């Protein structure tokens, strides 16, 4: 594959969006994609503040280290960011928007994009994680909605990354999220 | 001597909240003042006001009953740490952003 | 082993593989994760070194100077105003001919405060007598940190490994961590000629006269200028030495080449873009794009900036119609530093291409592909008519 897949992640400082993107980056790399760039938003990564990180995946080396302007996929760890930050900026028409939200898919009206929703906040509590740990779960939702990554490899990498920090619970959260993610039909 | 006029440009700002945008949404914990314990409120006169003095964002007022501007308070907890009578507690922002939706 | 990590972690792994014995650093954005990683490695016992926490950058380099004088392999890292704060010791370390390695994680200098990237910080120390190497990606960071020790210890001159703050320091990409046993073979432990020990006390770097003199034992002692001249000579020779170091490294590790500079499609290029650091990567895409529309563009990515490889640069650039230097720093009141050095290198050439200077990306100002393309097209159409005043691009956004 020579086309670059561009995934932009939006979360809050401390939510672990960068860790999640790193797990996906490693998984893509292990699956044979040699071109991987993960560029976090720079300078304002303070607890609670909106942050984003750019993950680019390609079959060949990527030379452009700049933040993603035209994402194929946008992943949002906190649905309130939808109002607070312009998270869909530049998202390609028909592009995938993966959202952690307690709301239902019909509560949203985003006709330009393909929406995938799941309540990771509830799922992670169910999986035995501390309230607000949503970064492992969202990976499961991305895997389900994008069909780009091998779920078993992702789970393996989640357990590795969270070694000593409830690896089993984090993997379970991702698994449950994978199962329960609701996706709008293809656009 | 004829000179071109260039403006001297430097980077300056004035004190007060809002220099970094609406930072209230960053809060994980919210400060709550118990006026039963708060020195100026209890004595009903200007006193103490260490919360006002120490707040790095200038969001605490220097009133008899100090007020905290939650629009900009980042929830750093310095006021609670400095309060000599432990009148300020940090409580969890329960799903903070949702509160606006009520 | 290939991993995906940040540029700061790549640098820390290089320091670990080089078996640095003393680390002294003061945290400053965007260098902080580099020193945090090293302190973790030392704390966990993963790395056998002394981590000395200091209260300032001046002290950080002072500790390295003391450690190296006592025979230890030492490392520090800093950025921006931290580098400026240690400036006195930067000059001292070079004059004392200590084989230190320092990473400068490039950041703009205040005032006004900025934490974002440009090259003004390391440029301000250009004439301190250190070797300066600018690298473009994580693989080059880890490899160059290791090679820098070999170079520093061969020529007795400290080396700065400069890499872009955030663009490299905080960005994650894959890179290979070479095997320790290969690096041990490449970089054996080093024995200093003058090692300060309690058994043989010495005064180091004492006052020198404007002239040479005979010491108490009647031996000839060089004066200041002679000492400086030998530093200069070794510095010039370091260009060749680094090429040898690089070929040793690539023989063992299987990776290297182009130690002084990397060229991309320069052979038939009408216009050659000169750039340092991470922007070099993107410039290759832009050269390809411009070639698709019929403009033959090449890219010269300069790695070793001091000593300045003027002959090698002249050889590449001489045949072009125009040279376009994009620079993230400027000598206020004059032009970009790299521009002026390259212009000087071209002066003694048989042919002299026109040369233009564009100032970009100061304090992290966004550099758009269009900015670069428009600038190159501007240079192409104006040619010799455009003067030597640097053109500032990307203002007012």
Alpha helices in C113-171 (DSSP H): 120-123, 138-155
- Residue of B19, B20, B24, B25 to mutate when probing chain A, most A C-beta within 10 A: B25
C242 vs C133: CA distance, rounded Å: 11
pLDDT per position as a tens digit, C77-114: 999 999 999 999 999 999 999 999 999 999 999 999 99
- Residue of C79, C168, C171, C285 to mutate when probing chain A, most A C-beta within 10 A: C171
Mean pLDDT across C133-155: 98
pLDDT of residue C85: 98
Map residue A114 onto helix, strand or coil. Answer: strand
Of C25, C29, C1, C24, residue with least CA distance to C13:
C1
A154 vs A140: CA distance, rounded Å: 8
Chain C residues in contact with A42 by the CB 8 A cut-off are: 30, 116, 166, 170, 364
Query: Torsions phi, psi of C290, nearest 5?
Result: -70, -35
Chain B residues in contact with C112 by the CB 8 A cut-off are: 10-11
CATH architecture assigned to C2-186: 3-Layer(aba) Sandwich (3.40)
Q: Judge residue B72's burial from the number of C-beta atoms within 10 Å of its C-beta, 0-12 exposed, 13-18 middle, 19 or more buried.
A: buried
- Rounded to a whole number of angstroms, the CA Rg of chain A reads 15
Buried residues in A128-141 as b, exposed as e (16+ CB within 10 A): ebeebbbbbbbbbb
Fold of the C261-392 domain:
Rossmann fold (3.40.50)
This model of the complex carries an ipTM of 0.94
pLDDT of residue A1: 42
pLDDT band at B92 (very low <50, low <70, confident <90, very high): confident
Q: Does B13 touch chain C (CB under 8 A)?
A: no
pLDDT of residue C195: 86
pLDDT per position as a tens digit, C193-202: 778 999 988 8
pLDDT band at B100 (very low <50, low <70, confident <90, very high): very low
Q: Is omega for the bond preceding C307 within 30 degrees of 0, making it cis? A: yes
C-beta of residue C313 within 8 angstroms of C-beta of residue C302: yes
Mean pLDDT across C2-9: 97
Chain A residues in contact with C170 by the CB 8 A cut-off are: 39-40, 42
C-beta of residue B31 within 8 angstroms of C-beta of residue B73: yes
- Tell if the CB–CB gap between B10 and C111 is shorter than 8 Å: yes
pLDDT band at C161 (very low <50, low <70, confident <90, very high): very high
Could you tell me how many CB contacts below 8 A there are between chain B and chain C?
5
Distance from CA of A122 to the nearest CA of C (A): 31
Q: Is omega for the bond preceding C112 within 30 degrees of 0, making it cis? A: yes
C323 vs C234: CA distance, rounded Å: 30
Q: Judge residue A93's burial from the number of C-beta atoms within 10 Å of its C-beta, 0-12 exposed, 13-18 middle, 19 or more buried.
A: exposed
Mean pLDDT across C274-296: 97
C-beta of residue C297 within 8 angstroms of C-beta of residue C271: yes
> Cα B69 vs. chain centroid, distance in angstroms?
6
C272 vs C355: CA distance, rounded Å: 10
pLDDT band at B94 (very low <50, low <70, confident <90, very high): low
Token pair for residue A40?
């976090």
Confirm whether pTM is higher than 0.95.
Answer: no
- Tell if the CB–CB gap between C173 and A37 is shorter than 8 Å: yes
pLDDT per position as a tens digit, C61-78: 999 999 999 999 999 999
Q: With 70 as the cut, is the pLDDT of residue C319 above it?
A: yes
Q: With 60 as the cut, is the pLDDT of residue C208 above it?
A: yes
Query: Which residue among B26, B97, B98 places its CB closest to the CB of A49?
Result: B26
Q: Does A10 touch chain B (CB under 8 A)?
A: no
Q: Does B11 touch chain C (CB under 8 A)?
A: yes
Chain C residues in contact with B11 by the CB 8 A cut-off are: 111-113
- Tell if the CB–CB gap between A36 and C172 is shorter than 8 Å: yes
Mean pLDDT across B17-26: 76
pLDDT of residue B27: 84
Q: With 50 as the cut, is the pLDDT of residue A9 above it?
A: yes
Of A57, A42, A163, residue with least CA distance to C4:
A57
pLDDT band at C144 (very low <50, low <70, confident <90, very high): very high
Domains located in chain B, CATH noted:
23-94 (3.30.70.20)
- Tell if the CB–CB gap between C284 and A63 is shorter than 8 Å: yes
C-beta of residue A62 within 8 angstroms of C-beta of residue C284: no
Mean pLDDT across A95-112: 95
pLDDT of residue A186: 61
pLDDT per position as a tens digit, A116-140: 999 999 999 999 998 889 999 999 9
Length of chain A: 187
Token pair for residue C390?
């640097």
Domains located in chain A, CATH noted:
5-183 (3.40.920.10)
Chain B residues in contact with A80 by the CB 8 A cut-off are: 97-98
Q: So where are chain C's domains?
A: 2-186, 261-392
Residue listed under structure tokens 């028909």:
A94
The pLDDT mean for chain C works out to: 96
């Amino acid at each position: 594959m020579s086309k670059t897949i561009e995934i932009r992640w939006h979360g809050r400082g401390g939510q672990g969006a960068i860790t999640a993107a790193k797990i996906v980056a490693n998984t893509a790399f292990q699956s044979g994609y040699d071109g991987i760039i993960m560029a976090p938003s720079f300078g304002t990564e303070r607890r609670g503040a909106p942050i984003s990180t750019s993950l680019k995946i390609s079959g060949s080396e990527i030379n452009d280290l700049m933040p993603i302007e035209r994402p194929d996929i946008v992943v949002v760890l906190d649905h309130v960011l939808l109002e607070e930050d312009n998270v869909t900026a530049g998202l390609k028409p028909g592009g995938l928007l993966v959202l952690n939200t307690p709301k239902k898919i019909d509560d949203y009206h985003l006709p330009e994009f393909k929406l995938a929703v799941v309540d990771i906040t509830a799922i992670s509590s169910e999986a035995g994680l501390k309230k607000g740990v949503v970064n492992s779960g969202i990976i499961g939702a991305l895997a389900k909605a994008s069909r780009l990554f091998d779920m078993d490899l992702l789970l393996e990498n989640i357990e590795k990354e969270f070694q000593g920090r409830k690896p089993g619970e984090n993997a379970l959260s991702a698994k449950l999220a994978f199962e329960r993610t609701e996706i709008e039909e293809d656009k | 001597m004829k000179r071109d006029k260039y403006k001297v440009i430097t980077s300056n700002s004035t004190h007060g909240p809002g220099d970094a945008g609406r930072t209230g949404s960053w809060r994980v914990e919210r400060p709550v003042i118990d006026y039963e314990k708060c020195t100026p409120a209890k004595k009903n006169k200007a006193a103490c006001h260490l919360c006002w003095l120490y707040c790095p964002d200038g969001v605490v007022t220097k009133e008899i009953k100090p007020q905290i501007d939650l629009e900009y308070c980042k929830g750093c907890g310095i006021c609670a740490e400095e309060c000599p009578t432990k009148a300020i507690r940090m409580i969890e922002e329960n799903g903070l952003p949702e509160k606006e939706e009520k | 082993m290939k991993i995906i990590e940040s540029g700061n972690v790549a640098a820390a792994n290089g320091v670990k593989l080089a078996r640095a014995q003393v680390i002294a650093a003061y945290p400053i954005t965007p260098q902080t994760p580099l020193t945090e990683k090293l302190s973790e490695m030392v704390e966990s016992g993963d790395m056998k070194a002394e981590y000395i926490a200091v209260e300032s950058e001046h002290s950080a380099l002072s500790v390295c100077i003391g450690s190296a004088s006592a025979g230890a392999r030492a490392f520090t890292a800093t950025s921006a105003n931290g580098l400026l704060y240690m400036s006195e010791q930067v000059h001292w370390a070079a004059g004392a001919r200590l084989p230190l390695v320092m990473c400068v994680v490039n950041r703009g200098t205040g005032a006004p405060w900025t934490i974002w990237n440009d090259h003004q910080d390391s440029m301000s120390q250009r004439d301190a007598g250190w070797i300066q190497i600018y690298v473009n990606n994580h693989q080059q960071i880890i490899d160059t940190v290791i090679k820098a020790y070999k170079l520093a210890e061969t020529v007795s001159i400290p080396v700065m490994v400069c890499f872009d703050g955030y663009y490299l320091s905080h960005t994650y990409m894959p890179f290979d961590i070479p095997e320790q046993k290969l690096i041990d073979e490449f970089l054996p432990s080093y024995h200093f000629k003058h090692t300060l020990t309690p058994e043989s006390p010495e005064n180091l770097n004492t006052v020198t006269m404007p002239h040479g003199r005979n010491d108490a034992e009647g031996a000839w002692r060089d004066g200041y200028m002679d000492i400086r001249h030998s530093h200069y000579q070794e510095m010039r020779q370091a260009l060749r030495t680094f090429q040898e170091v690089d070929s040793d490294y690539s023989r063992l590790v299987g990776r290297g080449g182009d130690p002084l500079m990397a060229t991309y499609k320069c052979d038939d290029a009408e216009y050659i873009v000169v750039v340092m650091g991470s922007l070099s990567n993107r410039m290759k895409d832009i050269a390809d794009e411009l070639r698709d529309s019929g403009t033959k563009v090449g890219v010269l990515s300069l790695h070793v900036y001091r000593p300045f490889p003027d002959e090698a640069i002249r050889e590449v650039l001489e045949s072009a119609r125009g040279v376009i230097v994009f620079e993230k720093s400027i000598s206020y009141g004059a032009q970009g530093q790299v521009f002026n050095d390259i212009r000087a290198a071209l002066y003694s050439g048989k042919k002299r291409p026109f040369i233009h200077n564009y100032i970009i990306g100061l304090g992290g100002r966004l550099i758009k592909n269009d900015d670069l393309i428009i600038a190159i097209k501007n240079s192409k159409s104006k040619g010799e008519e455009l003067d030597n005043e640097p053109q500032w691009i990307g203002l007012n956004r």
